[in-house]
Every structure is written in C-alpha cells, then in structure tokens.
A and B are shown apart, each in its own frame.
Chain A
Amino acid sequence: MDLISYLPFSLPHPALLAAGVLEGTVLAAVLALTALGLSIVFGIMRVVNVAHGEFYMLGAVLAWFITHTVSGTVGGPPWLGFGIALIVAPLVVASMAAATDWLVLKRLDYDPEATIVATIGILYIIQQLALTFYGPDARPVEAPFDFRVQTPWFGYSGYKLSVVGAAILLMLVVWLVLTRTKIGLIMRATQYDRETAQAFGIPVDKVYAGVFALGAGLAAIGAVLIVPIQQAHYLMGGDPLLLSFIVVILGGLGSLRGTLVAAIFIGLSDGIISTLYEPTLAKILATLLVAMVLVFRPQGLFGARAA
C-alpha cells in the first residue's frame, strides 16, 4: 500500500477504506464471473463477444421482470422471486446466446473480424429491445434477504457478503467442470484444434453453441446477483463489458487463473477507487494500460492465431 502515499489525494479514514475494500470485493466477485464468461468464449471459440455486456444487462432486466411478477402478481416473498430469477434468467439468456450462435456466428464460420462486427450489431439489437419493452427507467430489485453483519466499526449488508460467496462457489464449479469432467475435456480439445476435434467425432457445432451459452449465462448470473445492489437499466451493459475486456486482456488469453487474478485486482481497485476517488481517471488509465498490453505484449491475449 506504499502506492497510496504517492496519490494526489488525502488518505481516507480507515473505516471508509474498509468499506471501499468490501464494496470492491463484491464488485470483483461479480466482475470475475462476467469476465470468466467472456474469457471462456474467447479462449475456446476465438470469438470476441462485444455483446457480452448486453447478455449481462438482459440477466438483470429479466430478474426484474421475474421478481416483479412473483411479488407483484402472485404476492410471493422476495426470496422466492429472486430464487426463480437466479435460475430462470441465466437459462433464458443462455438459450438466447445459443440461438445467436446458431443463427449468426456459425454462419460467419467464426471469422474473427466478421464476428466482432456481428456482435456489435447484436449489442444494439439486445440493448434496443430492452429499451423497447423494459423502458428507459432504472428499476430496483428487492434483495432476497436482509440482515446486517455487524463489525466493531460499521454494519455491512449480509446480502453483499453472500454475493461474494455465491460467486466464488460458481467459479469453483466452472473450474471443476472445465478441468475435471468429460465436457471440459471436449471443450479443451475443441479449443486446441477445431478440425481434429471434428474428425474425432466431437460435435463442434454443439460445443460452440454450448460454450457461447455458458459464457452469456455466467454474465447473466453475475447480473442477477448484482441487481439487488445496482438497479436494472437498459444501458447497464457498457461498464461490465469494458471491465471484462480489461480483465481478460490483462489476465491473458484463455487463462482462467489469469482472468480470476485480474478480476480481483480490477474489481478491488475499481471498487476502492469509485467509492473514494474520481473513477473516470482510473478508467482512462485502465483503458490505456489495456491498449499498451495489446501493443507491447500481444502474446498475452491475441497470440499466434490473431491474424
């Protein structure tokens, strides 16, 4: 923390700093989930999914619709609506992503540049459809439970802490699936060499659709978890997209460990900085850093197959 002394700001009160660290931890957890989705899609399919943030937004907006319906129309308790949203929203988003893969990306034969242009188009389509049916307002979702964890200095939301727990749990599951199961093996084989995998009878089309669905689903879960903390809004996809890009590029291509480390680093610093200081300056520096990493250490992300 030597760095703090060089900052052109006064040192904050320890309690405020602790609060910043906690907020940062929550952000880091959700960011790690979202970025993991982007990283898996890039790592296995070599597709840069610019619409990733919109799948995130869609998860949040669907969570609002579901919880709103359950509590408003049916009169169920908040935990019920949230529980349903946590399962249904990611599944809906994942199936939409699979359909996108089938209808668009596959037809482009996963050409890297064409898929970027296409996912930019998909970004606008999803975002504008959300604007159409959800409207321009930001709307809150009630947390499924409400208790405070008391520390000697301040109380802290128990829900936020459980978000961190849930994110860690989910990432462990993804990690285990990718490294210890047959599905994971098939995915890695496809990543290694698409043609050979196909020759060995791996249904590459289905693997790709599944991977794209998984990536979008992870973003949607992250969004459902965050939506009781931040409100659902049709433009909320921009920030997680930018941060996920930063995380994936800094963490290194397809490296799950790198993605996690970078997510924790970026999430924490973003949390601390945006709680305490000017966030725009931090974002400027982060985007420039990412550009420089790509220029001077391209092997980190877009290595031998970047052509």
Chain B
Amino acid sequence: MIRSILLHSFVIAALVALEPVLSEYHHGNLARIMVLAVYATGYNLLFGYTGLLSLGHAMFFAAGMYGCALMIRLAEWSVGPAFVVGVICALIAGIVVGFLALRTIGVGFMIVTLMFAEAAYLTILYYNEYTRGDEGFTIAQSVRTIGGLDLSDTTTRYFAALTLFSICLIASAAVVQSKAGRVLVAIRENEDRVRMLGFDPFRYKLLALVLSAVMAGAAGAAYAVLFGYAGASFAAVQYSIFPLLWVLLGGPGTTLGPLLGTVLMFYLVDYASGTIMPGLAGMVETQFGIEAPGLASAYLLLVGVALVLLVLFAPRGLLGTVRARMIPWLP
C-alpha cells in the first residue's frame, strides 16, 4: 500500500518536474497525452480490471466533449459549468448503455457497444447544424478561461491536464485497491464464482462501466476546453480503438499502464507520420520504383501492426509483463 502511494506520487511529481524543461512542442504533446491518458485510465478500469472489452468508448468521450463544447457554443456557458455538464452527459450515457449492454457478455458486449457508439457517431453527423459534423468547431480562446486562468496558455493548460490526470490516476488506484476493486478483478477472473460468493456481478460491472464512462467524458470535455476544438472524428470507431490499443500496450490491469501506453503510442505515431513514413515513401519510390502515393499519410498502419503484435505476443502489455516477471506488487 505504501509502495503504491509512493509510486503514484513519484509519477505525478515527475510530471510536475518535467514542465519547466519541456520544449514548446513537447509541452503541447504532453498536455494532450495526459488528457488522453485520462481516457485510457477510465478504459482500463473496465477492460483491464473488470475484463469487459468495450468497442464503443468513443461515445463517452464524445458525450463529454459535446456536452461541454455545445454548452459553451450554443448556451454560452462558462468553462467550469460546461465541463460539469459534459461529465454528467457521459455519466448518463454510461448508465443507459450499461443497463442495456451489460445484459450481454463477451462478443455480444463488444458488438453492442460498437453499435451504440456507431449510432452516437451518426447522430452527431445527423445534427450537423449544431455539431458541424466531421468538420467540427473551435471554441474561441477568449472564453477558454476558468477562475481567471487562461486555459490556452501552455503552462496553465499543462497543469490543468496534469490536475485532471492526477485525480483520475489516484481515483483509479484507490478503486482497484479497494474492496470493490477486488470484486472487479474477481469478476474478470471468474464471474460465476463471484455470484456464488454472494455478490451481484451486474452492480459491480455497472459501477466499473459508469466510472469508466465518467473518466472518458472528463477527458473529452477537457480536450474541448484545453485545445478549443470539438469534432465528430473523436466519436468515430477509431477513437474507441485507441484506448484499447494504449491500454493493451501499457498493460491492462495496471494503474500506470494507460499513461505509458498513451505516451509511447502518441510519440510513435507522431514520429512515424512526421519522419518515418515520408522518408519511407521517398525511399520506396526512388529506390524500388514502386508507386506509393499514400505511404506518407498511412501512419495508422502502425496502429494495425501494434494491435496484431500485442494480441499475438504480449497480451499482458509492458507493465503487465514487468509485473509478471519482476515486480509482483505493481498495482
């Protein structure tokens, strides 16, 4: 327990210490990564700890993002209350989807969440008039303030993202090491046995799903206010796959795996689309004479390759493997 508190405090302290030394570019990246890591941390509660694989988490992210951004854009609310509305939207979505989707198990749960998310995505496109569809809309810099702080300022933005991430990391660590967390892990291992120990698995699965949805929604709302943009691409299937990939990479069922996976995948994709792919494209065309008109923009290839390799060779992810081989107490 003490080791766990020390470890999480160290990670948060390290993120604070990094702030003054980061370049402008990495500064923005890391703020974005921390917001996305909140999303992944929530996803991990459901997938990594409870064993429920959702393919539709983008709907919760989008519920938070649009719940917040539309309040600012249409109702001209200020950032604070709009953020709360975003989180509440995700909460409600989590409860409704949970009550329905948790009647199914395994593959059924995956497909049902996928279908609900697809319906949510199409709904955003359908109400193009308000949401501006795929194109999305920006939130003016002038309204992106909270308590007098300018959220578009890089340092403020960094610390706002860090605050949210720290809250979610600590909450996630507290939940998984609590009594309820022990039940969640047990459900992942053997749901029938949990029922025959007198627990109602549905209640715990709903708890995990709702917590997970709330974190996804908080991430979506934070993204909207910190980066000043909301768009339908955040509700598309791809944004349901990303947290799965980040968590798989970092280590499902480890508290710090989501952050690690998000950092690695973000920089891998960033580096690949900025450097590797264009370079490769030039090489393929000049050296081999093969036409590869889209290679420079095909960075999602990495997402596919990473998913297949992880599921084949490292289903425990990085920190999961570390825990199995070296540090058994890793939370």
State the A residues within 8 Å of B (CB).
Answer: 48, 104, 107-108, 112-114, 116-118, 120-136, 234, 242, 245, 249, 278, 280-281, 283-284, 287-288, 290-292, 294-296, 298, 301-302, 306-307
Contact = CB atoms under 8 A, between A and B. Distances in A.
Nearest to A301: B108
B104 interface: yes
A164 to B, nearest CB: 28
A124 B312 contact: no
Nearest to B292: A132
Contact of A135 (B105, B118, B293, B315): B293
B115 interface: yes
Contacts, number: 149
26 contacts: A108-B311, A114-B315, A117-B311, A120-B241, A121-B303, A121-B304, A128-B298, A128-B299, A128-B301, A129-B301, A131-B295, A132-B293, A132-B301, A136-B293, A136-B294, A242-B118, A245-B115, A284-B119, A284-B123, A287-B116, A287-B119, A290-B111, A291-B119, A292-B100, A295-B112, A302-B111
A302 B123 contact: no
A121 B100 CA distance: 27
Residue in A114, A117, A127 whose Cβ sees the most chain B Cβ within 10 Å: A117
A291 B100 contact: yes
B294 A135 contact: yes
A278 B123 CA distance: 12
Contacts of B295: 131-133
Contact of B307 (A121, A131, A307): A121
B107 interface: yes
Contact of A131 (B101, B103, B115, B294): B294
Given A114-B311, A125-B301, A135-B294, A280 B104 contact: no
Contacts of A245: 111, 115
Contact of B108 (A114, A242, A292, A306): A306
Dominant secondary structure of chain A at its interface with chain B: helix
Contacts of B311: 108, 114, 117-118, 121
A249 to B, nearest CB: 7
A294 to B, nearest CB: 5
Residue in A121, A278, A306 whose Cβ sees the most chain B Cβ within 10 Å: A121
Interface string B107-144: 11011100110110011011000000000000000000
Contacts of A134: 293-294
B312 A113 contact: no
A112 B106 contact: yes
Nearest to B312: A107
Given A298-B108, A302-B104, A302-B107, A281 B307 contact: no
A242 B290 CA distance: 33
A133 B292 contact: yes
Given A280-B122, A288-B119, A124 B292 contact: no
Interface size class on chain B is 35 or more
Contacts of A113: 53, 106-107, 110
A118 B115 contact: no
Nearest to B118: A287
A294 B108 contact: yes
Contact of A287 (B110, B115, B299, B307): B115
B9 interface: no
Contact of A302 (B108, B292, B307): B108
Closest 6 CB pairs of A and B: A124-B304, A121-B307, A135-B293, A131-B294, A128-B301, A125-B304
B116 A128 contact: no
Contact of B126 (A48, A108, A281): A281
Residue in A122, A131, A134, A135 whose Cβ sees the most chain B Cβ within 10 Å: A131
Contacts of B106: 112-113, 302, 306-307
Residue in A114, A127, A134, A287 whose Cβ sees the most chain B Cβ within 10 Å: A287
Residue in B106, B111, B290 whose Cβ sees the most chain A Cβ within 10 Å: B111
A133 B304 contact: no
A126 B115 CA distance: 22
B308 A122 contact: yes
Interface string B289-331: 0111111011111011111100110010000000000000000
Nearest to B315: A114
Nearest to B307: A121
B116 A291 contact: yes
B298 to A, nearest CB: 4
Contact of A124 (B112, B115, B300): B300
B79 interface: no
A291 B59 CA distance: 14
Contacts of B116: 287-288, 291
Interface string B201-228: 0000000000000000000000000000
Nearest to B290: A133
Interface string B43-56: 00000000001010
Given A129-B301, A131-B297, A295-B101, A48 B111 contact: yes
A134 B299 CA distance: 15
B248 interface: yes
A302 B112 CA distance: 11
B244 interface: yes
A288 B291 CA distance: 42
Nearest to B308: A121
